[in-house]
Structure 1
Amino acid sequence: MKTFTLLSHQWKAATRSAAASKSIGIKIFMGFFFFILFLELLGGGFYIGSELSKNSENPIHDLSRYGLYFFLAILMARFMLQKLPTFMVKPYLNLPIKKSKLVNFILTKPLFNSLNVLPLSFALAITAGLHKQLDSSTFWAIFACVIIGDLFVNYLSIYVKRVQIKHEYVFYLFLSTLGAILALDYFGIFNLKAFSADIFSQVFQQPLYLVLGLLLFTMAYYLNYQLLYKHFSLEDFGKGDANQRSSLENLSYLDRFGKIGTFALLELKMCVRNKRTRTMLFMAPLFLLYGLFFYNDPKNLDMNGFLIFIGIFISGGFMMSFGLYFFAWESGHFDLMLTANNTYKDYIKAKYFLMLATSTIIFLLSIFYIIYGLEIVMINTACFLFNIGCNSLLLLYFATNNNKHMDLSKGSAFNYQGVGARHFVLMIPLLVLPILIYLPFSLIDQANLGLTIIGTIGILGLLFREKLLDMITQRFINKRYEMSEGFRNK
């Protein structure tokens, strides 16, 4: 009975809150996106199953070779996109409800996540394409394997994300482990396909092996249970060692740059200390590795227009995802920033130089893409110059249009507070503008000249940045009261 009462409270909290009626457009858009993704997975799964049925002598064995890739992809998707299950515990602490019941209630919430439909629908679509080669026992074995494997992956990702809140290095350890497995497979040191085929072939032949999967799921559930039970006071997460000084305290040398350095240091502290900005900070390495998804295909190396898009995204992806909300990040204390004895230009220049610093670091690290050819480095260099000389200033200009409050204590995955449809629209010119500049020169067989123009525009932006920053500062001054009023509306 208490479980149904808790469910009732959760439903009322979701439907009666002030936020329930906000961002209807975003919810409709995401629902439409989810539906399209669902249809694509159905179509893609059926196509894969049909092709295996036609072209493979042993389609079940060939399918099992990619089983581990399937679950690794689910693990990464859940880790990056799925929100942690949360529950407002405080109102129940003084009621006669066992702590174990509250913990189990929290841990059952992931079972009702809409994302659970996607891997199962994809697997069922594959089996539909393979229906001629499947007997009933193999079908049910695949069905059970997907459900149990997805449950294990789901709770494993939740556990890692919870531990990461207190120990940030866990994220890099998790990412490096997955990267090492894929690297060993890519270079032929470890054959992941053969290992996967051995595991799933045994499961399909002898479904009793599914008990091992249930044990893994039980272990992941127990780890989550123990973690939440021992740290049921949610303040335990994110504090770290109370006696440990932040490593950012050692960056006091930024003070030598005056108020700009002070503002930059405050910006860095905000990134590290708040959950939403910290999540985005952790995703910065993913932008650096973006090229690996495309450079390995020789066909893509001949599409310079597409390579420019990738180059813009590598050195500017983090800048764009972070920069469009520059002032909204500080919406909780924006009024204080307006009343402090500081010049607005220093405040804006600190954000500008922070974008330059992050993009420069990512660009320097991306030079290893020279293994795909010198032309790739030339394209990425031109895109980097365009990002720091043009896109960075455009981001600051567009950021003055944002007046929606953002709660930094919440994670960024599926969190659309403070996000509007215009933010997605504003990303288009930042990504498409350099391609539009390049295409006319490419059509007349002057591709290098097009790259030179893109890089030159970036250099001109750097040379005239003071004048452009003055224009942005004036726009900020004109919009500051409108922004402040919007940020106060939570």
Structure 2
Amino acid sequence: MFKHFINLQWKSFFRSASFKTNIGFKILMIFGALYFILVFLAMGLGAFYIIDKSGLGDPLQVVNGIMIYYLVVDLYIRYALQKMPIMNIRPLLYLPFRKGQVVQYSLGKTLFSFFNLAHAFFFVPFSIILLIEGYDPAGVVGWHLGIFALIFTNNFLNIIMNNKDSVFYPVIVVLVGLGVLQYYGWFDITLYTVHLFDALYNQPIYALLPWGLLIFMIYAAFHYFKKHMYLDGGLATKQSVAKTEDYAWLSRFGNLGIFLQNDIKLIKRNKRSRTTVIVSVLFLFYGLLFFTGSLEVYENPVWQIFAGIFVSGGFLFTFGQYVPSWDSSYYPLMMSQNIQYKEYLNSKWYLVIIATLLSTLVSAFYLYFGWEAYLAILVGAIYNMGVNSYLVLWGGAYIKTPIDLTSNKNAFGDKQAFNTKTLLLTVPKLLLPLVVYALGHYLVNPTVGYAMVALSGIIGFAFKDAVFRKIEKIYKKEKYKTLLAYKQKT
């Protein structure tokens, strides 16, 4: 039966609407995985001797002291990036399989996730080094098995957190609370957890406790999915009471106002779009890495323009790059109406322009770090509005990603956003303004560099109509490919 499930998964991959994109992205993921494997392997082989030579104490106790941080970071990364098995369950509900088999397969497949296997490249070499250095074999085995049980526990805890708010919020409150207490020095959780991890080595029998916790988490995840394994039940899209919102003041702008109303409602009512707005707010603080002098590598003046573009363009990049995917659930209906592409794209353009202006105003606190810091943000904003606003709309025509508005997954990006055309458009979005500024800065002076970047944005405004005609043609050319991609959920 499991062989049959794997066969179905294999066919799904090759028959996907984005098969070529998947192949390219999988290759990229393989290189990324190899990189992290080498990093983990190097850490596993060298951690013991580095800690020993630095005089920090017993290497095993040092590792145990920070193990709680390791597990928390692992859980955070899983929550942000790991794919949930619910996406594998839904298509199988139409087929004649027992619910238990489907859930077992979906949950079991997560055990072989890279997020689990990668840890072996650190802990296996580290455990071997412990044995070579004369540590008690029984203790090392008990410690090793206990740690891996906790890592797999994270796997199933993440699955439950993604589906049950009653678990997610308490876990977040506890972790944030402990983090705040640790930061201000009021309570150091590591003083207590280090003894728990030490106990896995000193008393190997205690390794049964993490395994007991793992079995409980497996049972909880299995029971939850089996109980809610109905399209009109636990796996259904969550519904909420609709609220009437009146944006009559936008109606004076005609069709443009109607589209803007829809976008504002979309952002306010859906989890994914709200998360994107939150992410764009975080971009406002990205400049602290560049303007505070905290990192020497970013002291080059060219990096200030890079920071200015990201600080002012957070919403532009996170929201704008997925036009028209935000409307994927009803895009076919829109295309059957008498809607002009120019009006549709114009509304999206105004939305990102307004957001860029607001971001620029809010980021005025960077004046604290000097007028040059805020000048870089102003110049970056002009470039974003005059050049990058067109480029994100242009690139959106090639990103045929149907977005699940009820899910936070991929709020930071999506694999289907990776293709040759969007990659090429990254050059004028990010690299061109750096080159333009560098030419003015090093050939004349910094003021000329800023002026040249700002002038590029102003020229972009002047050619708005011509650029929009070009983008409109691209959207029309890609129209039916986009409709097909939205029908084939990948």
TM-score range, shorter chain: 0.7 to 0.9
Offset at residue 351 of structure 1 (A) = 0.8
Distance 2:306 2:358 in 1: 19
Question: Structure 1: which 5+ runs fail to align?
Answer: none
* Amino acid aligned to 1:475: K
1:392 paired with 2:389, answer yes
User: Residue 262 of structure 1 corresponds to which residue in structure 2?
Assistant: 258
**Preserved contact between residue 300 and residue 307 of structure 1 (Cα < 8 Å):** no
User: Residue 205 of structure 1 corresponds to which residue in structure 2?
Assistant: 202
Distance 1:65 1:314 in 2: 37
**Preserved contact between residue 280 and residue 318 of structure 2 (Cα < 8 Å):** no
Offset at residue 78 of structure 1 (A) = 1.0
**Preserved contact between residue 257 and residue 347 of structure 2 (Cα < 8 Å):** yes
**Preserved contact between residue 400 and residue 416 of structure 2 (Cα < 8 Å):** yes
TM-score using structure 2 length: 0.80
User: Residue 240 of structure 1 corresponds to which residue in structure 2?
Assistant: 238
Offset at residue 287 of structure 1 (A) = 3.6
* Amino acid aligned to 1:161: N
Distance 1:109 1:310 in 2: 40
Name the CA shift for 1:457/1:469 in 2 (closer, same or farther; >3 Å).
closer
* Amino acid aligned to 2:62: D
Distance 2:450 2:129 in 1: 46
Q: In terms of mean alpha carbon deviation, does 344-353 or 288-297 score higher?
A: 288-297
**Preserved contact between residue 152 and residue 220 of structure 1 (Cα < 8 Å):** yes
1:323-362 map, 5 Å:
323-330=320-327, 334=331, 336-338=333-335, 340-362=337-359
User: Residue 183 of structure 2 corresponds to which residue in structure 1?
Assistant: 186
1:305 paired with 2:317, answer no
Distance 2:67 2:8 in 1: 36
Distance 2:354 2:184 in 1: 33
1:155 paired with 2:156, answer yes
**Preserved contact between residue 313 and residue 431 of structure 1 (Cα < 8 Å):** no
Offset at residue 94 of structure 1 (A) = 7.9
* Amino acid aligned to 2:32: F
Distance 1:418 1:119 in 2: 28
Distance 1:133 1:441 in 2: 62
Offset at residue 88 of structure 1 (A) = 4.3
- Aligned to 1:324, the other structure's residue is in SS state helix
- Aligned to 2:164, the other structure's residue is in SS state helix
Name the CA shift for 1:185/1:133 in 2 (closer, same or farther; >3 Å).
farther
Offset at residue 218 of structure 1 (A) = 3.6
Distance 1:418 1:301 in 2: 28
1:60 paired with 2:60, answer yes
Identity of aligned residues (%): 25
Name the CA shift for 1:246/1:201 in 2 (closer, same or farther; >3 Å).
farther
Per-residue CA deviations over 1:192-247 (Å, capped at 9, x if unaligned) read: 544443432333333333334234434433443343234222344464345x1157
Offset at residue 368 of structure 1 (A) = 5.8
Offset at residue 82 of structure 1 (A) = 1.0
User: Residue 140 of structure 2 corresponds to which residue in structure 1?
Assistant: 139
Per-residue CA deviations over 1:34-63 (Å, capped at 9, x if unaligned) read: 222322332344344431132133222222
* Amino acid aligned to 2:259: F
**Preserved contact between residue 325 and residue 403 of structure 2 (Cα < 8 Å):** no
Name the CA shift for 1:231/1:348 in 2 (closer, same or farther; >3 Å).
same
Distance 2:418 2:355 in 1: 23
* Amino acid aligned to 2:26: K
**Preserved contact between residue 288 and residue 366 of structure 1 (Cα < 8 Å):** yes
**Preserved contact between residue 79 and residue 157 of structure 1 (Cα < 8 Å):** yes
**Preserved contact between residue 286 and residue 307 of structure 2 (Cα < 8 Å):** yes
1:453-468 map, 5 Å:
453-455=452-454, 457-458=456-457, 460=458, 465=461, 467-468=462-463
Distance 2:466 2:29 in 1: 35
User: Residue 76 of structure 1 corresponds to which residue in structure 2?
Assistant: 76
TM-score using structure 1 length: 0.80
**Preserved contact between residue 152 and residue 214 of structure 2 (Cα < 8 Å):** yes
* Amino acid aligned to 1:4: F
